[in-house]
Structure 1
Amino acid sequence: MIEIELKGYANDRIFEKVRGRFEFMRKEMHEDIYYQHPCRDFSKTDEALRIRIKRFNGHFEAFLTYKGPKLDDMSKTRKEIEVPISDVDAYSDLLTSLGFEKVLTIVKVREKYYVEKGVTITLDEVEGLGKFIEIEKLVKEEKDIKNEVKKLRGILEDLGVERFERRSYLELLLEKLKKNGSQT
């Protein structure tokens, strides 16, 4: 599957518009542990590998996720492979035993909203970065990307999003840490 995703900077006004217009699905706590490949630099190949731990409504889910390079110039659209996992520690040990190194852990609170069939909006409060809004849809064919990006961007603009961001939270936080002279 191809994940079409657009992200923008948000504020309280945008959060309230989403809460008033769309159907609330759930609130989640995310802990995303990112890994670096031992033989290629994901920051140069525009790829990502992470373990995501999700907590919501007393439940726990975890996934190993690979994200391929972005497929267009306007969005964060990319191939995504996500595999549910039950033992986070065992998968983390497996990755580090194979030479993968932990890069950084991103923590966020996410509110998820239903827009229409196949389309969701999330409101994210990311530790160290602030508030963001994301809209996403899964498609099967690359030929559908351009039209869907335009449609999704229109929804975000209608909500008041003026500034879009193609970089991942990992890229943004690493850049901020580097700028502030902090170590990862």
Structure 2
Amino acid sequence: MIEVEVKGYADESVFERVRENFKLIRKEYHEDTYFRHPCRDFAETDEALRIRIRRFNGHFEAFLTYKGPKIDRNSKTRKEIEVPISDPDKHTEILRNLGFEEVLTIEKTREKYYVDKGIIIDLDEVNGLGKFIEIEALADREEIVEETVKILHEILESLGVERFERRSYLELMLEREVEHGKAG
């Protein structure tokens, strides 16, 4: 599957428009730990490997996710492979034993809203980065990506989003650390 995703910077007024116009699915807390490949530079190949721990309504879920390179110039669209895991600590241990290193853990709260069949909006408050809005849909083939991106972009603009962002939270956080002299 291809995850078609458009992200923009948000403020409280954008968050309120979403809350007024769409149905809340649930509020979640995410802890995303990203890993560095021992032989390949994911920054150069535009890939990512992470373990996500997601908590909501007293539940706990964890996933191992591979994200392939972006396939669209105007969005964060990419192939995504995600599998549920039952023990994130043991999976982290396996990755470490294979030579993977933890890069960074990003924490955020996320409100998920239903827009239309197959379209979801996420309101994210990312620790250290601020407020963002993401809208996503799944595509089963690349031929429909461009039109889907256009539709998603228009929805965000109608909600007052003026500034869009293709970089991942990981990329933004790493750039922030370099700017503040924290990256090593």
TM-score tier by shorter-chain length is over 0.9
AA of the residue aligned to 2:96: T
- Gapped regions of structure 2 (runs ≥ 5): none
Which residue of the partner structure matches residue 86 of structure 1? Answer: 86
Q: Is the 8 A contact 2:174 2:183 kept in 1?
A: no
Aligned to 2:6: 6
Residue 100 of structure 1 aligns with which residue?
100
One-letter code of the match for 1:39?
C
Q: Which residue of 2 aligns with 1:30?
A: 30
Q: Give secondary structure in 1 for the equivalent of 2:40.
A: coil
Paired with 2:148 and 2:7, the residues of 1 have a C-alpha distance of 14
| Cα distance between partner residues in 1 of 2:155 and 2:116 | 11
Partner of 1:137: 137
Aligned residues: 184
Inter-partner Cα distance in structure 1 for 2:26 and 2:101: 32
Matches within 5 A, 1:109-124: 109-124=109-124
Q: Which residue of 1 aligns with 2:173?
A: 173
| Cα displacement string for residues 128-156 of structure 1 (whole angstroms, at most 9, x for unaligned residues) | 00000000001101000010000000000
TM-score by length of 1: 0.99
Unaligned runs of 5+ in 1: none
Q: C-alpha distance in 1, partners of 2:43/2:183?
A: 17
Q: TM-score, normalised by structure 2?
A: 0.99
Report the alpha carbon displacement of residue 90 of structure 1 after superposing the two structures with TM.
0.6
SS at match of 2:170: helix
Code of the aligned partner of 2:63: F
Distance 1:61 1:132 in 2: 23
One-letter amino acid of the structure 1 residue matched with residue 10 of structure 2? A
Encode CA deviations 1:33-92: one digit per residue, 9 max, x unaligned. 000100000000000000000000000000000000000100000000000000011100
Residues 119 and 136 in structure 2, CA contact (< 8 A), matched pair in contact too? yes
Paired letter, 1:100:
F
Asked if 1:39 is matched to 2:39, the reply is yes
**C-alpha distance in 2 between matches for 1:73 and 1:85:** 32
Aligned to 2:121, what secondary structure does the other structure show?
Answer: strand
Which residue number in structure 2 is paired with residue 154 of structure 1? 154
CA drift at 1:183: 3.4
Runs of 4+ in 1 over 4 A off after TM superposition: none
SS in 2 for 1:121: strand
How far 1:107 moved relative to its partner?
0.1
- What amino acid sits opposite 1:52 in the alignment? R
